[in-house]
Amino acid sequence: MRHLNSISKDKFLKEPMNFNKYTNKDLLKYAVGSNLYMNALMDILKKIDKLKNIGTITICFEDSLREIDIEAGEDNVIASLNKLYKRILIGKSNMDKLPLIFIRVRNITQFINFSYKLSKENLELITGFIFPKFNSNNGLNYLEHLVDIEKEFSEKVYGMPILESEEVLYKENRIKEILKLKTLIDEYKGSILNIRVGGTDFSSKFGLRRSRGRSIYDIGVISNCLSDIVNIFGRCNEEYIISAPVWEYFSNDINSKEVKGLIKEIEMDKENGFCGKTIIHPSQGIYVNSMYSVSYEDYIDATNIIRLKKEGGVFKGYKNNKMNEVSPHYNWANRICNMAKVYGVLNENISYYDLFREVDYRSED
């Protein structure tokens, strides 16, 4: 799989790389990108066949499913994975063109029960599991069972905890809880692909919902919590990638308030240290992944900073419009170069909007 696969090659100085679940984790953690959630009862193969510009899907057993539908959802997912594996064996599907597939479990009990139904072939198609409402009370159970699955099947699978519980949100508990989670997650760092955050769940605790004209960063009580999560998990020496909360509005009209709001929020996600975003409609994928592609200007500056690491010093940036200090800007440059591999580098004078205009959004429904 590669991101932005329907975009013309002439838009890129360097095209996005190909990746799959076995790609080196140092790059794969950036590649989650726009992560499309879908209900476990859907026609999963049909959805996969229609995907464009999206490299990651998550099949959800939690909020999108009623309790009475869990067993039917599990049966549907396993049947879909079996069909997909057979298609690969007979050459009708290509493993290298599949999206990263994650399973968002409902709770620890459902995670354990569902995992007992999986086969080695199923696990070869699953990149990992997402753990909702992950906290210091249930987290160890999730991570221990994840490692048990890896050992039993001799197959790499990743975990992605979602920080969205009251323990993380409420101020009187927050720092103590996040530090507990950090200690726990550090012990299983090799199995953690992304840290995810639940903006909708956080907002619900206060009866809030951002409008189309506002971003999650305009809701002070939520923005404050997100900042603390980034402060503890987002430090460069920690090597964690934190994915941004879902944007709840969608439209096929690039000039709509829904799309303009999404673009504004992605810009803020990037400025605040997030990489990638949960999405709930296929049309949102092009915006997320395009905006994580690297501009020509940033790429030239970043590569020059890395080239001069040993020498250090200060120099003018590309276009003579900024100061590049090698030492303080090195971590930024390294992040830019990793994203350049995964999302590509745009040619000079090409903008994100040039990528947006290439897509037929009606085909993304």
DSSP string for residues in 73-134: HHHHHHHHHHHHHHHHHTTSS-GGGSPEEEEE-SSHHHHHHHHTT--HHHHHH--EEEETT-
Give the relative orientation of helices 139-153 and 171-187 as an angle to the nearest 10 degrees.
20
Mean pLDDT, rounded, for 179-188: 98
Tens digit of each residue's pLDDT (9 = 90 or more) over 293-324: 999 999 999 999 999 998 999 999 998 899 99
**359: pLDDT confidence band, cut at 50, 70 and 90?**
confident
pLDDT of 331 over the 70 cut: yes
Average pLDDT, the chain: 94
Determine the pLDDT at residue 365.
Answer: 55
Distances in Å between the Cα of 114 and the Cα atoms of 9, 122, 141 are: 41, 12, 15
User: Taking residues 56-81, what's their average pLDDT?
Assistant: 94
State percent of the chain over pLDDT 70.
98
CA distance 145 to 240: 21
Task: Supply 59's token pair.
Answer: 């099949």
| In the predicted structure, residue 281 carries a pLDDT above the cut 90 | yes
**Ordered domains of the chain (ranges, CATH):** 17-292 (3.20.20.60), 293-365 (no CATH)
Within 8 A by CB and 6+ apart from 80, the residues are: 44, 45
Q: Mean of the pLDDT values across residues 80-93?
A: 90
d(CA 125, CA 107): 21
Arithmetic mean of pLDDT, 78-94 = 90
> Which range among 59-63, 118-122, 319-323 has the greatest average pLDDT?
118-122
Return the pLDDT at 364: 53
How much of the chain is helix, strand and coil, in % rounded to 5? 50, 15, 35
User: Comparing C-alpha atoms, which of 181, 190, 118, 182 is closest to residue 156?
Assistant: 190
> Pairing state of beta strands 158-163 and 323-325?
unpaired
Q: Residue 69 CB: number of other CB atoms within 10 A?
A: 15
pLDDT value of residue 360: 62
Q: What are φ and ψ of residue 131, in 5° steps? A: -110, 105
Calculate mean pLDDT across residues 145-168. 96
Q: How does strand 323-325 pair with strand 345-346? A: unpaired
- Alpha carbon separation from 166 to 49, 178, 227, 255 (Å, rounded): 38, 11, 16, 36
